């Protein structure tokens, strides 16, 4: 027993007290389901919770079966859980000032990565003025997430480039101003002021992101080679950015107790065991949460409430005899019958 005393608990109880919780990983591993389930559990113990999707392919609306926008909306069935889906591109005219602002906004937008950086900074500025004591980020796949963490640097480089252009093109801008009858210098000053303000907000939030008492990152993956590789890459990058990551959710696990007579499931379970053992070796000091592969998608608040229980207490697999489906032949027969039923419905229509 002494050897297992220091093994971290295989749950997400350790993240329930943080202010900022990022949920990310490779595409298609169930990040939105996990982040939505976590938000549901947080709403039980926290005063006000906001979940934000920064993934261009938003799935929060599908997960909760409710339409969300770029402004926080209350989640049906809760009085302290809110959700929003952020478009990670620069809103047209978001930085336009008087006169030549549009021209300068286009100039700023030509700097690689600055559109996402400014969009994220604007979201952070709005969030800081809101009354939430916990914010969950349902992030885009790994590459986008790492860019998100680089936004303060991107903004700093963008400002330096604009200042350089201002010095280089100072005379030319003066002539353009005279020709167009607008004050480009004032417009540029206004744009730089807005960029500086957004940069300040991002730097302030970034300082909180580096505080392990306030911020943590939950990595989501599945027990396969590419996902294991991507998770290791993500964990290493998070360490480089000094962001706490001490919990990994391993999703879509096939438990041996639930395999039954299915040769296919047995083969997949054996394959997964190899990678589960590697996760145990690589991340022995992490909270490793194993979630089951389900027969159906987790959609809607009731399903999320039920599934979310597995985040705070280890999943207990059910014996195969208690599982539905039976043998592969029985499953094929059931699916064929369902297809005939659907074809009959289509014919009647």
**Residues annotated as binding site for ATP?**
26-33, 224, 251
Instruction: Locate 210 and state its tokens.
Output: 């580096």
| Contact indicator for 117, 158 with CB cutoff of 8 Å | yes
| Contact indicator for 45, 51 with CB cutoff of 8 Å | no
Direct distance between the N- and C-terminal alpha carbons of the chain, in angstroms, rounded to an integer: 64
Say which of 6, 55, 62, 261 is annotated catalytic. Answer: 55
Element (H, E) at 232: helix 225-240
Task: Reply yes or no on whether 281 is catalytic.
Answer: no
Dist. CA 183–CA 178, nearest whole Å: 8
Residues 6+ apart with CB under 8 A from 163: 192
Residues 6+ apart with CB under 8 A from 333: none
Q: Which is nearest to 46 in space by CA: 83, 26, 17?
A: 17
Let me know how many helices (H) and strands (E) the chain has, helices first.
Answer: 12, 8
| Buried-exposed string 120-154: b where 16+ CB fall within 10 A, e elsewhere | bbbbbbebeeeebebbbbbbbbbebbbbbbebbeb
Dist. CA 31–CA 59, nearest whole Å: 10
**CA 189 to each of CA 104, 105, 151, 296: distance values in angstroms, whole numbers, following the listed order:** 10, 12, 22, 55
Which residues belong to the active site? 55
């Amino acid at each position: 027993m002494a050897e297992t005393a220091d093994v971290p608990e295989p749950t997400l109880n350790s993240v329930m007290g943080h202010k900022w919780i990022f949920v990310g990983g490779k595409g298609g591993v169930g990040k939105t389901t996990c982040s939505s389930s976590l938000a549901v559990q947080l709403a039980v113990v926290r005063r006000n919770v906001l979940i934000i999707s920064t993934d261009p392919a938003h799935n929060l609306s599908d997960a909760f079966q409710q339409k969300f926008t770029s402004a926080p909306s209350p989640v049906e069935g809760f009085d302290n859980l809110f959700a929003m889906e952020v478009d990670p591109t620069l809103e047209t005219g978001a930085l336009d000032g008087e006169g030549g602002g549009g021209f300068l906004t286009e100039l700023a937008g030509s700097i690689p990565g600055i559109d996402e950086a400014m969009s994220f900074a604007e979201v952070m500025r709005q969030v800081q003025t809101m009354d939430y004591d916990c914010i969950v980020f349902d992030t885009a796949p790994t590459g986008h997430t790492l860019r998100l963490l680089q936004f303060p640097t991107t903004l700093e480089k963008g400002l330096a480039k604009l200042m350089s252009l201002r010095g280089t093109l100072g005379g030319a801008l003066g002539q353009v101003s005279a020709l167009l009858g607008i004050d480009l210098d004032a417009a540029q000053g206004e744009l730089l002021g807005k960029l500086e303000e957004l940069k300040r907000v991002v730097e302030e939030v970034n300082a909180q992101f580096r505080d392990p008492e306030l911020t943590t990152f939950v990595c989501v993956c599945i027990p396969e080679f590419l996902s294991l590789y991507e998770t290791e890459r993500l964990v290493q990058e998070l360490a480089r950015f000094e962001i706490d990551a001490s919990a990994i959710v391993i999703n879509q696990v096939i438990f041996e107790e639930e395999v039954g007579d299915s040769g296919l499931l047995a083969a997949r379970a054996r394959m997964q065991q190899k990678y589960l053992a590697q996760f145990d070796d690589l991340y022995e000091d992490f909270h490793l949460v194993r979630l089951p592969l389900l027969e159906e998608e987790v959609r809607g608040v009731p399903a999320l409430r039920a599934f979310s229980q597995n985040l705070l207490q280890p999943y207990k697999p059910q014996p195969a005899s208690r599982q539905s489906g039976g043998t592969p032949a029985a499953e094929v027969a059931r699916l064929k019958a369902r297809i005939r039923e659907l074809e009959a419905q289509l014919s009647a229509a």
